[in-house]
Amino acid sequence: MYSLPKLPYSYDAFVQIIDARTMEIHYTKHHQAYCDKLNAALEQYPELKERDLTNLLSNLSSLPEGIRMAVRNNGGGHYNHTFFWGTLGVDCVDHPSGKLADRINETFGDFESFKKAFHDTGLARFGSGWVWLVKNNEGELSVISTPNQDSPCMENLGVPLLGLDLWEHAYYLHYQNRRTDYINAWWGIVNWFVVEERYNK
Ligand code: MN
Protein backbone atom coordinates (compact mmCIF):
# COMPACT_ATOMS: atom_id res chain seq x y z
CA MET A 1 0.00 0.00 0.00
CA TYR A 2 1.29 3.41 -0.93
CA SER A 3 0.89 6.25 1.53
CA LEU A 4 1.66 9.93 1.75
CA PRO A 5 5.07 10.96 3.04
CA LYS A 6 5.00 12.79 6.34
CA LEU A 7 5.79 16.43 5.65
CA PRO A 8 8.80 17.78 7.56
CA TYR A 9 7.13 21.22 7.76
CA SER A 10 3.71 22.64 8.55
CA TYR A 11 1.13 23.81 6.00
CA ASP A 12 1.95 27.41 6.86
CA ALA A 13 5.72 26.99 6.56
CA PHE A 14 5.85 28.88 3.25
CA VAL A 15 3.03 31.41 3.64
CA GLN A 16 5.00 34.13 1.87
CA ILE A 17 5.07 31.91 -1.21
CA ILE A 18 2.43 29.17 -0.91
CA ASP A 19 -0.55 29.85 1.35
CA ALA A 20 -1.46 27.31 4.03
CA ARG A 21 -4.87 26.46 2.54
CA THR A 22 -3.29 25.60 -0.81
CA MET A 23 -0.70 23.43 0.93
CA GLU A 24 -3.35 21.61 2.95
CA ILE A 25 -5.73 20.96 0.04
CA HIS A 26 -2.88 20.00 -2.24
CA TYR A 27 -1.57 17.45 0.24
CA THR A 28 -4.72 16.10 1.92
CA LYS A 29 -7.02 16.13 -1.12
CA HIS A 30 -5.09 16.08 -4.39
CA HIS A 31 -2.10 14.00 -3.38
CA GLN A 32 -4.23 11.74 -1.19
CA ALA A 33 -6.57 11.07 -4.11
CA TYR A 34 -3.69 10.04 -6.40
CA CYS A 35 -2.41 7.73 -3.72
CA ASP A 36 -5.81 6.16 -3.00
CA LYS A 37 -6.55 5.61 -6.68
CA LEU A 38 -3.13 4.07 -7.24
CA ASN A 39 -3.74 1.62 -4.39
CA ALA A 40 -7.19 0.82 -5.78
CA ALA A 41 -5.77 0.13 -9.25
CA LEU A 42 -3.15 -2.27 -7.86
CA GLU A 43 -5.51 -4.04 -5.49
CA GLN A 44 -6.29 -6.92 -7.84
CA TYR A 45 -2.66 -7.45 -8.83
CA PRO A 46 -0.62 -8.59 -5.82
CA GLU A 47 2.34 -9.46 -8.08
CA LEU A 48 2.70 -5.77 -8.98
CA LYS A 49 3.12 -4.88 -5.32
CA GLU A 50 6.57 -6.49 -5.40
CA ARG A 51 7.75 -3.85 -7.87
CA ASP A 52 8.56 -0.33 -6.71
CA LEU A 53 6.77 2.67 -8.15
CA THR A 54 9.64 3.82 -10.37
CA ASN A 55 9.74 0.34 -11.88
CA LEU A 56 6.01 0.41 -12.61
CA LEU A 57 6.17 3.89 -14.13
CA SER A 58 9.23 3.06 -16.24
CA ASN A 59 7.51 -0.02 -17.67
CA LEU A 60 3.91 1.01 -18.15
CA SER A 61 3.53 -1.24 -21.20
CA SER A 62 4.19 -4.27 -18.98
CA LEU A 63 1.10 -3.53 -16.88
CA PRO A 64 -2.34 -5.03 -17.50
CA GLU A 65 -4.11 -2.77 -19.98
CA GLY A 66 -7.05 -2.23 -17.66
CA ILE A 67 -4.96 -0.39 -15.07
CA ARG A 68 -2.26 1.13 -17.26
CA MET A 69 -3.83 4.58 -17.48
CA ALA A 70 -4.79 4.59 -13.79
CA VAL A 71 -1.19 3.80 -12.80
CA ARG A 72 0.14 6.36 -15.25
CA ASN A 73 -2.04 9.16 -13.88
CA ASN A 74 -2.22 8.25 -10.20
CA GLY A 75 1.13 6.52 -9.82
CA GLY A 76 2.67 9.48 -11.62
CA GLY A 77 0.73 11.81 -9.34
CA HIS A 78 1.92 10.02 -6.23
CA TYR A 79 5.52 9.92 -7.42
CA ASN A 80 5.59 13.55 -8.57
CA HIS A 81 4.00 14.94 -5.42
CA THR A 82 6.20 12.93 -3.08
CA PHE A 83 9.15 14.30 -5.04
CA PHE A 84 7.75 17.83 -4.94
CA TRP A 85 7.26 17.92 -1.14
CA GLY A 86 10.77 16.59 -0.71
CA THR A 87 12.23 19.47 -2.70
CA LEU A 88 10.83 22.26 -0.51
CA GLY A 89 12.49 23.71 2.54
CA VAL A 90 12.54 26.65 4.88
CA ASP A 91 15.53 28.98 5.25
CA CYS A 92 17.46 27.37 2.41
CA VAL A 93 20.30 28.87 0.42
CA ASP A 94 19.00 30.35 -2.82
CA HIS A 95 21.37 28.61 -5.22
CA PRO A 96 23.20 25.30 -5.65
CA SER A 97 26.92 24.86 -5.16
CA GLY A 98 29.50 22.17 -5.85
CA LYS A 99 29.32 19.87 -8.86
CA LEU A 100 25.71 20.70 -9.63
CA ALA A 101 26.43 24.42 -9.76
CA ASP A 102 29.39 23.77 -12.07
CA ARG A 103 27.28 21.65 -14.38
CA ILE A 104 24.47 24.23 -14.45
CA ASN A 105 26.97 26.92 -15.44
CA GLU A 106 28.48 24.68 -18.13
CA THR A 107 25.09 23.76 -19.56
CA PHE A 108 23.13 26.98 -19.34
CA GLY A 109 25.82 29.66 -19.08
CA ASP A 110 25.01 30.73 -15.53
CA PHE A 111 22.45 30.16 -12.79
CA GLU A 112 20.15 32.99 -13.91
CA SER A 113 20.05 31.59 -17.45
CA PHE A 114 19.16 28.18 -16.06
CA LYS A 115 16.31 29.72 -14.05
CA LYS A 116 15.08 31.49 -17.15
CA ALA A 117 15.12 28.26 -19.19
CA PHE A 118 13.19 26.49 -16.42
CA HIS A 119 10.74 29.37 -16.10
CA ASP A 120 10.13 29.66 -19.85
CA THR A 121 9.61 25.92 -20.20
CA GLY A 122 7.12 26.02 -17.32
CA LEU A 123 5.22 28.90 -18.87
CA ALA A 124 5.11 27.15 -22.23
CA ARG A 125 3.37 24.08 -20.79
CA PHE A 126 -0.20 24.41 -22.02
CA GLY A 127 -2.69 23.18 -19.43
CA SER A 128 -1.55 20.97 -16.58
CA GLY A 129 1.83 19.38 -16.15
CA TRP A 130 5.28 19.74 -14.69
CA VAL A 131 8.62 21.33 -15.47
CA TRP A 132 11.76 19.44 -14.51
CA LEU A 133 15.51 19.65 -14.30
CA VAL A 134 16.78 16.15 -15.14
CA LYS A 135 20.14 14.46 -15.59
CA ASN A 136 20.97 11.62 -17.93
CA ASN A 137 23.35 8.71 -17.27
CA GLU A 138 26.33 10.89 -18.17
CA GLY A 139 25.27 13.51 -15.64
CA GLU A 140 24.24 15.92 -18.40
CA LEU A 141 21.43 18.32 -17.50
CA SER A 142 18.32 19.37 -19.35
CA VAL A 143 15.08 21.19 -18.65
CA ILE A 144 11.96 19.38 -19.83
CA SER A 145 8.23 19.50 -19.30
CA THR A 146 5.75 16.64 -18.99
CA PRO A 147 1.95 16.82 -19.42
CA ASN A 148 -0.59 15.80 -16.78
CA GLN A 149 1.07 13.64 -14.10
CA ASP A 150 3.62 12.09 -16.43
CA SER A 151 6.99 11.61 -14.84
CA PRO A 152 10.44 11.79 -16.48
CA CYS A 153 11.02 8.08 -15.77
CA MET A 154 8.04 7.09 -17.95
CA GLU A 155 9.79 7.96 -21.20
CA ASN A 156 13.36 7.60 -20.01
CA LEU A 157 13.70 11.36 -20.01
CA GLY A 158 16.25 11.28 -17.20
CA VAL A 159 16.56 11.28 -13.44
CA PRO A 160 14.60 14.18 -11.94
CA LEU A 161 16.55 16.60 -9.77
CA LEU A 162 14.01 19.40 -9.45
CA GLY A 163 10.34 19.50 -10.41
CA LEU A 164 7.64 22.13 -10.25
CA ASP A 165 3.92 21.38 -10.23
CA LEU A 166 2.21 23.55 -12.86
CA TRP A 167 -1.34 22.41 -12.16
CA GLU A 168 -3.58 25.30 -11.18
CA HIS A 169 -4.45 23.47 -7.94
CA ALA A 170 -0.86 24.18 -6.88
CA TYR A 171 -1.21 27.96 -7.02
CA TYR A 172 -4.67 29.19 -8.03
CA LEU A 173 -5.97 30.33 -4.60
CA HIS A 174 -3.18 32.84 -4.19
CA TYR A 175 -1.91 33.50 -7.70
CA GLN A 176 -5.05 32.84 -9.80
CA ASN A 177 -3.91 32.86 -13.44
CA ARG A 178 -0.46 34.31 -12.68
CA ARG A 179 1.69 31.24 -13.24
CA THR A 180 4.72 33.43 -13.85
CA ASP A 181 4.47 35.00 -10.36
CA TYR A 182 4.10 31.55 -8.81
CA ILE A 183 7.22 30.26 -10.57
CA ASN A 184 9.22 33.36 -9.61
CA ALA A 185 8.21 33.03 -5.96
CA TRP A 186 8.75 29.26 -5.81
CA TRP A 187 12.52 29.61 -6.23
CA GLY A 188 12.52 30.98 -2.69
CA ILE A 189 11.60 27.61 -1.14
CA VAL A 190 13.73 25.22 -3.20
CA ASN A 191 15.97 23.12 -0.96
CA TRP A 192 19.14 23.13 -3.07
CA PHE A 193 20.86 20.80 -0.65
CA VAL A 194 18.38 18.05 -1.60
CA VAL A 195 18.72 18.86 -5.31
CA GLU A 196 22.50 18.60 -5.05
CA GLU A 197 22.22 15.26 -3.24
CA ARG A 198 20.08 13.94 -6.09
CA TYR A 199 22.65 15.13 -8.61
CA ASN A 200 25.60 13.61 -6.75
CA LYS A 201 23.97 10.18 -6.37
MN1 MN B 1 -0.32 18.93 -7.59
pLDDT (tens digit, 9 = 90+) per residue, 112-142?
Answer: 999 999 999 999 999 999 999 999 999 999 9
Measured in angstroms, how far is the CA atom of residue 78 from the centroid of ligand 1?
Answer: 9
Tell me the C-alpha distance between 108 and 113, whole Å. 6
Is it the case that residue 91 has pLDDT exceeding 90? Answer: no
Lowest mean pLDDT segment, chosen from 67-71, 91-95, 122-126: 91-95
- pLDDT confidence of residue 165: 98
| 177 CB neighbour count, 10 Å cutoff | 10
Measured in angstroms, how far is the CA atom of residue 68 from the centroid of ligand 1?
Answer: 20
Measured in angstroms, how far is the CA atom of residue 26 from the centroid of ligand 1?
Answer: 6
Q: What integer is the mean pLDDT of 179-195?
A: 97
Measured in angstroms, how far is the CA atom of residue 109 from the centroid of ligand 1?
Answer: 31
- Alpha helix positions (H), the chain: 20-25, 32-42, 53-58, 65-70, 76-85, 98-108, 111-124, 172-175, 179-186, 192-200
Q: Label residue 92 by pLDDT band (50, 70, 90).
A: confident
Measured in angstroms, how far is the CA atom of residue 31 from the centroid of ligand 1?
Answer: 7
Measured in angstroms, how far is the CA atom of residue 190 from the centroid of ligand 1?
Answer: 16
Return phi, psi of residue 49, to 5°: -70, -15
Measured in angstroms, how far is the CA atom of residue 85 from the centroid of ligand 1?
Answer: 10
- pLDDT confidence of residue 78: 98
